[in-house]
Structure 1
Amino acid sequence: MIANFTSTGYSIAITWADKVAAVFPAIWLRDNCRCAACRHPGNGQRLYEITDLPEDVRIAEAVQLGDGAIRITFAPENHVSTFSESWLAEHNLAANARKARKPQRSLWNGSIGNAMPVGDWRQMVADPAAELAFLDAYHAHGFGLIKHSPTQSETVLAIGNRLGFVRVTNYGAYFDVMSVPNPTNLAYTPIGLGVHSDNPYRDPTPGVQLLHCLLSDAPGGDTLLVDGFRAASLLRAEDPAAFDLLTRIPVNFKFRSNDAELVARQTMISVDEDGDIVGVHFNNRSLDWLDAPAEVIEPWFAAYRKYAEVLHRPEGELIFRLEPGDCVVMQNDRALHGRTAFDPSRGRRHLQGCYVDKDGLESRARVLRRNLAEKKGAAA
């Protein structure tokens, strides 16, 4: 319940009964009008351009209605908008409210192997609540393991297209990970691979990678995961200057084959407007060259080395074996992955992988949550 509010002409200030406070600028309120003249009643999209609004939007009058909503008349166009208490509370612009709306992440180290985020594919396809539970755990940790999926070729596409939308690249809709002669990528050899994010030479970088196990007879080839966000947080705590350099100075990544030549420029660590870590791009094999002022070259490489050392600390590593029917789903700009070496002369190891855009899994979780809430409301 709103305890009181005031208007300065260019904003309104609200204090709720629980002492939570917020300030809403006039232009922001005007742009968020939900009336039928401003928004399409079916899809909610704006029916005007920003240039259609007056340059000097002001609040001519603000009145609290009997149901607690705030009715605002804007000058100079004399447009009237009404905002409910609940809508204003949900869109509070104060720092603590904005932080609470951000995704809640759980940083992890190797000990998460005792309680990994795991889903059962048979349950996920039968029960939306089970699928949502997996996606929630995946989003909190940046990865998840799906068990008991079919061991048929292209199952990874079925999983990817259910959870999101498979992205076609120069590797195709999906790719086989096995040892082959004359490989274009070290992934197609039996050697061990250090932890990395895939395809940082792409713009945008794939948001999610799926790896589905078909065969795992060969000794070795265990999956290795590291929480890149946790490592970046440790770097910031231990060496703030190094962290700052890796968030500000981008480096070139490159991939070249007979049919593709891909180059992208990325910072190794990405932060948002509040300084929160939102992505990492780390791939020693695809790193090209640092195109930066000469005076930052040595400090940048020292920062790069420091971050690599943090990523390689044994306590941060999660190591597990993918069995046939297992599919690991990884947020590609957080859960860095690698593998131990394997011996193809003593058995077979065959994985199939695909890429899915990150927003696809976020969309799927929102749709499942919305449908489950509507079903619960209808049953009440």
Structure 2
Amino acid sequence: MSDPNRRPAVVEVHEGGLTVRWSDKSPMHLPNYWLRDNCRCPKCRHPGNGQKLYEIVDLPADLAAIEAMVAPDASVKVLWSDGHRSEYAADWLNAHDLIPSARDARRPQVELWGKTIESALPVGEWPQMLQDPAKELAWLDRYTALGFGLLRNVPTLSGMVAEVGDHLGFVRVTNYGRLFDVISVPNPNNLANTSLGLGVHSDNPYRHPSPGVQLLHCLEAGAPGGDTLLVDGFHAAEILRKENPGAFALLSTVPMTFRFADDKAELEARQTLITADMDGVVTAVHFNNRSADWLDAPIDLAGRWYAAYRVFAQILKRPELELVFKLGPGDLVVMQNDRALHGRTAFDPNLGRRHLQGCYIDRDGIESRRRVLKRRTTNRTDAAA
């Protein structure tokens, strides 16, 4: 990772871009178009909202840096071939270095977990979080690292789950409504509304896109059983990659069709069980045995894909990966839907009631909430200094 205190020492112009040589002797290579597209001057970006005031095609095809220098304040000033002048602060350049160590450091810090996390659950007291932004931010940081978090002492009122959802993000309305009840009913349109045990899964993989975050709020928990199961899908995917790279490759490139249909909706989507970015980092896991429909893939891949599917499903059932706990009235679990796969043990509705309410919010909403709280905290710290 780059030293945040380093400053540009020398800047060199060459064909294709610039090279900034820093005070720690490390070089930083900056392509012409990348650098110009990140100009922050008021001619390029609106001074109020920061949005760009030009189209990329407005820049000349032969755009090139003509001159560059390090200013006394350590900023880098550039004269472009079309006459435009740009200035880049040292802190901005340092924060946007493209070397592998800097790019890795900018990624959200993900912590893989398994059964042993039961002794250190990410728990927040909802009334305290409402009163203290620092406590909410601390909880959101843990949620972000682990892909799930628990809230205690959420009022056991119908509809409260949507209030929490709107506080953390923005509730997403689906064919199930703004919120939904998880309770045993006769002739259900979804197995969640039975007393059967459910294997771990992600919700609604038959949507474009799948819900980013699911909230489940316990209103009643009198029935024996019905314990919550959670498995870190990212951890399971990394185990698969280590133990069977070929299976990982198949499940991250060949999509499965997922489907849901009832009297009012017919939803279908194709997506891979594992999603990895260009650096090979796992960014999503979509696994739902109940909603898996059929595999539309070349014949020579179908058999191998199913073998890989079975291997992954077996990994997800390993006891050392399963976190098991019981939600009590007032408990609410928040789960990153494409990471924290969830399920439950069977319960007996004849011996007590079990009633949960749930809702979905988009992942970017809760991520935005965290960034805003972090920004406000930083601004308060800077003001006090």
Partner of 2:118: 113
Q: 368-377 or 82-91, which moves further after superposition?
A: 368-377
Residue 148 (structure 1) aligned to one of 144, 153, 162: 153
Work out the CA distance in 2 between the residues paired with 1:363 and 1:196: 25
Partner of 2:288: 283
Work out the CA distance in 1 between the residues paired with 2:233 and 2:322: 11
Partner of 1:57: 63
Partner of 2:279: 274
Identity of aligned residues (%): 58
1:194 Cα offset (Å) = 0.1
Work out the CA distance in 2 between the residues paired with 1:94 and 1:191: 50
1:202 Cα offset (Å) = 0.4
Matches within 5 A, 1:26-175: 26-75=32-81, 77-175=82-180
SS at match of 1:161: helix
1:212-264 per-position Cα deviation (integer Å, ceiling 9, x unaligned): 00000000000000000000000000000000000100010000011000000
TM-score normalized by structure 1? 0.99
Q: Following TM superposition, where does structure 1 have runs of at least 4 consecutive aligned residues deviating by more than 6 angstroms?
A: none
Matches within 5 A, 1:335-350: 335-350=340-355
Work out the CA distance in 2 between the residues paired with 1:281 and 1:234: 16
Change (3 A) 1:63 1:149: same
Contact 1:10–1:57, Cα closer than 8 Å, also in 2: no
Q: 29-38 or 205-214, which moves further after superposition?
A: 29-38
Whether 2:216 is the aligned partner of 1:224: answer no
Letter in 1 for 2:52: R
Work out the CA distance in 2 between the residues paired with 1:223 and 1:20: 50
Letter in 2 for 1:331: Q
1:19 Cα offset (Å) = 4.0
Letter in 1 for 2:42: A
SS at match of 2:145: helix
Contact 2:211–2:362, Cα closer than 8 Å, also in 1: yes
Change (3 A) 1:29 1:209: same
Work out the CA distance in 1 between the residues paired with 2:76 and 2:105: 24
Partner of 2:316: 311
Unaligned runs of 5+ in 2: 1-6
Partner of 1:23: 29
Residue 5 (structure 1) aligned to one of 6, 11, 33: 11
Work out the CA distance in 2 between the residues paired with 1:250 and 1:147: 38
SS at match of 1:248: coil
SS at match of 2:330: coil
Q: 12-21 or 173-182, which moves further after superposition?
A: 12-21
Unaligned runs of 5+ in 1: none
SS at match of 2:311: helix
SS at match of 1:270: strand
Aligned CA RMSD, in angstroms, stands at 0.8
Contact 2:8–2:76, Cα closer than 8 Å, also in 1: no
Work out the CA distance in 1 between the residues paired with 2:117 and 2:366: 22
Contact 2:9–2:70, Cα closer than 8 Å, also in 1: no
Q: Say how many residue pairs are matched.
A: 379
1:10 Cα offset (Å) = 1.8
